Chain A
C-alpha cells in the first residue's frame, strides 16, 4: 500500500523564487517523517526530519496532521538545490517507505 505520495515528478523554478515540494502520507497514529535529498549520482542523504523541527540549507517542513502533509519549502531557491527529493516514512514493522521522488531543477 502506498503510504507516501509525492504528486510532482518534476518541478522547475527560477533562482530566487520560492519552492514547495509536496508530500502527503497515510498512516494511523503519529508518523515520523523525513525528507531525503539525492544530488546527481550520489547517495541519498538526510535533509531534515519533522521531529527535530530544524532548518537545513534553508529548507523547512511542517507536519500538518489535518491535511496529512509534510511539504518541503524554501523561500529562495538556489542553483545548488537542483536534486532529487524524497519524502520518507517508517512504519511500526520497521519498514521504511519512500515516495516516488520529485526532481527539482532551479533555473539560473
Chain B
C-alpha cells in the first residue's frame, strides 16, 4: 500500500539549476497538492490540482511550475532554483468529499546553494 510517493528524498542544487520533484498516488484521488514547509511558517500551499488536467496557484506559487500528468502523477518544477527555495517539500492527495483527509508523501529536503 504505497499511498503517496515522492522522489527524490534529498537534493542539493546550485543557484540557477532546474529540477523536477515527482509525486505519484495510488488511491485514485482527484486532488493533489504541493506544499513547502519552513520553520515558523508551517505548511504553505504552492500549487494544487483539483482534477486531472487542471492546476491552480496556491499561496506561494512564484518560482514554481506544476504538471498534472495524469490522475496519478503531479510534478513540481523549479526552473531556476534560488536559495530562498531551500525547504522541505511535501506532496499530498485527497478525495473530493469535504471530510476527506489528505495523505502525504515522505517529503523532499531541498537545499539550494
Binding site for B on A (CB under 8 A): 6, 9, 32, 34, 36, 42-46, 49, 51-52, 86, 88, 90, 93-101
A52 neighbours in B (Cβ, 8 Å) = 99
Given contacts A44-B102, A98-B43, 7 further A-B contacts (CB under 8 A): A6-B42, A36-B102, A43-B90, A44-B92, A86-B43, A95-B48, A96-B33
Asked if residues B50 and A96 are in contact (CB atoms below 8 Å), the reply is no
B99: A residues at CB distance < 8 A: 32, 49, 51-52
Known: A94-B50, A98-B35. A44 touches B101 (CB 8 A): no
Listed from nearest, the 4 A-B pairs whose CB atoms lie closest are A100-B42, A98-B43, A94-B50, A43-B104
CB of B61 within 8 Å of the partner chain: no
Q: Are B106 and A42 in contact (CB under 8 A)?
A: yes
Residues of B within 8 A of A (CB): 31, 33, 35, 40-45, 48, 50, 56, 58, 90, 92, 94, 96, 98-102, 104-107
Given the interface contacts A9-B40, A86-B42, A101-B42, does A43 sit within 8 Å of B98 by beta carbon?
A: no
Determine the chain A residues whose CB is within 8 A of the CB of B48 once the complex forms: 94-96
Contacts of A97 in B (CB 8 A): 45
> Considering the chains assembled together, what is the distance between the CA atoms of A85 and B33 in angstroms?
19
Taking the closest CB of chain B, its distance from the CB of A42, in whole angstroms, is 7
Which among A34, A86, A100, A101 is the interface contact of B101 at CB below 8 angstroms? Answer: A34
